[in-house]
Amino acid sequence: MKNANKLQIVYPDEEHGVRHPHCPHGPTLLFQTFNQLADKPTSAYYACAAHRDKSLCNFQFPAEQITPQKLTKRYDLESHINSYKKQRRKLLAGYNDGGLHYCLHCNVPLLRDNHTEHAAHEMIWNLTHELLCDPTRFLRPLDDDKSQAQYFFDNKALKFFGNCFQDLGVTKVVCMGAPRLHAFFRNNFSDMQSFLLDFDHRMFFFYDDNNFAWYNMCNNHFFDKLQRLKFEKFLKCKPKDKLLIFTDPPFGCRTEPIAGTLRQLTHTFNLLNNLPHQPLAIFWIFPYFSEHYIQKEMPHMRMCEYKVNYTNHGAYTNVGEKCRKLGSPVRVFTNVRLELLHLPVEEEYKYCALCQRYTALENRHCAKCGNCPSKNGSTYRHCELCGCCVKPNYVHCINCRRCTQAEEHECEMYQANQHCWICLQKGHTELMCAMWRKHHKDVGFVNRGDQIIMCLLCKRKGHNERNCRRRNKYLEELTFMGVTEVKIK
């Protein structure tokens, strides 16, 4: 059977007794190849949480060969940390004396008289106060999409986030992998505190331990213990404080480790503030097509339709020759109620009175679906054979019971990547659902010639099984930690 094996990731949680061996970038992730038919892992290994590229970190260790010595080994980066902090002190001293420079080739700050060794390198001369207050304006962005891709928000996005957080009454922001937003808040919002958690060691040169920590977001690892203590102090809140976590991970990251880190930070926040359990407000920046993966890990996250633009990405913007016709695919996923987020009408957003929230101008409300369905920036249309709204260029396939791209469509291959609307499992569509066919042998003859979809559950026309209002009459669904188990009643 196709797709019988599935790659799973086990997040390290040493606080609760789940110990993983360490590489230089902190606790590793456990990668398991899981056989869904046998319901057991077939192979497992530990690998670096930050880097998929072995040229950046070649740590990989078979799980069956793990030893107590491997579990206890730690990598001391204190010499690197002390060196970075020394460079920061030099930078501050140099700025007070005048004549501070920065070598973009070596990524080090330089004083007025010690730049002769870097004469052939590209330099930023005489750093101004404005540049020091926002180093993302002159540093070269890191460009590894799998680990350290840096794309910086444009000014409209920064303004949108700032207005949102003010409307929500946010007083503290944890900027996880969002250095430009951190600088924006520090420079423009005196009543809002910001703490930057970032994997880029260059931030050592510009921010002290009270508002920056060298950090791996894929395993919640602080490289410097002192910075961790400073961060925990930041997490302690007064009764009037409202804290929000903002994360902009590389889009090549799997959602499991990011979600694991967000859960750990929430747990730490509640522990430090003596709270039983209080969910933290979260803004997670990710492409719209990753919605399913985010909601699988964090079911309460919803997609806000604001299109996030970057200044240094050709496609993830609304300007330039390479920009997408439908705009940036990057969105905001949040557990904050979408009704509370006011999208700027000057950027072509509108308020839908029926949905009671802001939506994109091209997104038209569908009376049959009961929502504004578009996700990708186009105007969706309602398909009677699907019983839902679809992308405007899609055509309906009767065999698949789906609208899909007309070009290179192969039913068998397409269905192997679909989630069944009855059992919710991946690998087939409803007409081939073994669980339902076991109880209803006539399922294969339903909806072959009709011009409108018939629900296989209630046998009524006009909607599919996913949207059936009587679904709970026929199916028992139990959801735990983002995983739903379905049984026929």
Nearest in space to 125 (alpha carbons), one of 108, 103, 106:
103
The 10 Å Cβ neighbour count of residue 370 is: 11
Lowest mean pLDDT among 320-334, 366-380, 413-427, 433-447: 433-447
- Quick one: average pLDDT of 372-393? 92
pLDDT bin (cut points 50, 70, 90) of residue 257 is: very high
Higher pLDDT, 16 or 9: 9
pLDDT value at residue 447: 52
Supply φ then ψ for residue 266, to 5 degrees. -65, -45
Please calculate the CA angle 421-426-427 and round it to the nearest 5 degrees: 105
pTM of the predicted structure, to 2 decimals: 0.89
What would the pLDDT profile of 132-185 be if each residue is shown by its tens digit? 899 999 999 887 655 567 889 999 999 999 999 999 999 999 999 999 999 999
* Across 132-146, 279-293, 313-327, least confident range: 313-327
Query: In the predicted model, what is the mean pLDDT of residues 72-97?
Result: 83
Note whether 267 and 260 are within 8 A (CB): no
Give me the mean pLDDT over the 378-400 stretch.
Answer: 91
Distances (CA, A) of 485 to 150, 162, 417: 38, 40, 19
Rounded distance between C-alpha atoms, residue 228 and residue 206, angstroms: 18
Between helix 225-235 and helix 255-272 the angle, nearest 10°, is 70
Percent of the chain with pLDDT over 70: 91
**pLDDT class of 58 with cuts at 50, 70, 90:** very high
> Is residue 7's pLDDT more than 70?
yes
Domain 153-342 in this protein, CATH class: alpha beta
CA–CA gap between residue 241 and residue 174 (Å, rounded): 13
Inter-residue contact 168 to 336 (CB < 8 Å): yes
Give the whole-number percent of the chain exceeding pLDDT 90: 57
Judged against a pLDDT cut of 50, whether residue 86 lies above it is answered with: yes
Q: Are 196 and 212 in contact (CB under 8 A)?
A: yes
Report, as an integer, the average pLDDT of 269-290: 95
- Smallest CA-to-CA distance from 220 within 480, 6, 84, 18 is with 18
Q: How confident is the model at residue 422 (pLDDT cuts 50, 70, 90)?
A: very high
**pLDDT at residue 1, rounded to an integer:** 38
Lowest mean pLDDT among 106-110, 245-249, 356-360: 106-110
Instruction: Please write the tens of the pLDDT for every residue from 20-51.
Output: 999 999 999 999 887 755 566 678 999 999 99
The full length of the chain comes to 489
pLDDT of 284 higher than 90:
yes
- pLDDT given at position 2: 46
Which tens digits make up the pLDDT trace of 452-484?
888 889 988 888 888 888 999 998 887 665 567
Q: Are strands 22-23 and 349-352 parallel, antiparallel or unpaired?
A: unpaired
Residue 287: alpha-carbon gap to chain centroid: 8
Q: Where are the domains of the chain?
A: 5-72, 153-342, 381-488
pLDDT of res. 485:
80
3-class secondary structure per residue, the chain: CCCCEEEEEECCEHHHCECCCEECCEECEEEEEEECCCCEEEEEEEECCCCCCCCCCCCEEEHHHCCHHHHHCCCCCHHHHHHHHHHHHHHHHHHHHCCCEEECCCCEEECCCCCHHHCCCCEECCCCHHHHHCHHHCCCCCCCCCCCCCCCECHHHHHHHHHHHHHHCCCEEEEECCHHHHHHHHHHCCCCEEEEEECCHHHHHCCCCCCEEEEECCCCEECCHHHHHHHHHHHCCCCCCCEEEEECCCCCCCHHHHHHHHHHHHHHHHHHCCCCCCCCEEEEEEEHHHHHHHHHHCCCCEEECCCCCECCCCCCCCCCCCCCCCCCCEEEEECCCHHHCCCCHHHCEEEECCCCEEEECCCCCECCCCECCCCCCCCCEEECCCCEEECCCCEEECCCCEEECCCCCCHHHHHCCCECCCCCCECCCHHHCHHHHCCCCCHHHCCCCCCCCECCCCCCECCCHHHCCCHHHHEEEEEECCEEEEEEC
437 pLDDT band (50/70/90 cuts)? confident
- pLDDT score of 316: 76
Tell me what pLDDT residue 355 has: 95
Question: What φ, ψ does residue 383 adopt, rounded to 5°?
Answer: -105, 120
390 vs 403: CA distance, rounded Å: 7
Task: Enter the tokens of residue 314.
Answer: 């050709």
Question: Residue 95: what pLDDT?
Answer: 63
423 Cα distance to chain centroid: 27
Query: Degrees (nearest 5) of the Cα angle 257, 259, 263?
Result: 115
Please say if the pLDDT value at position 256 is more than 90.
yes
- Give tens-digit pLDDT for 146-160: 556 788 999 999 999
Query: What is the average pLDDT score of the chain?
Result: 88
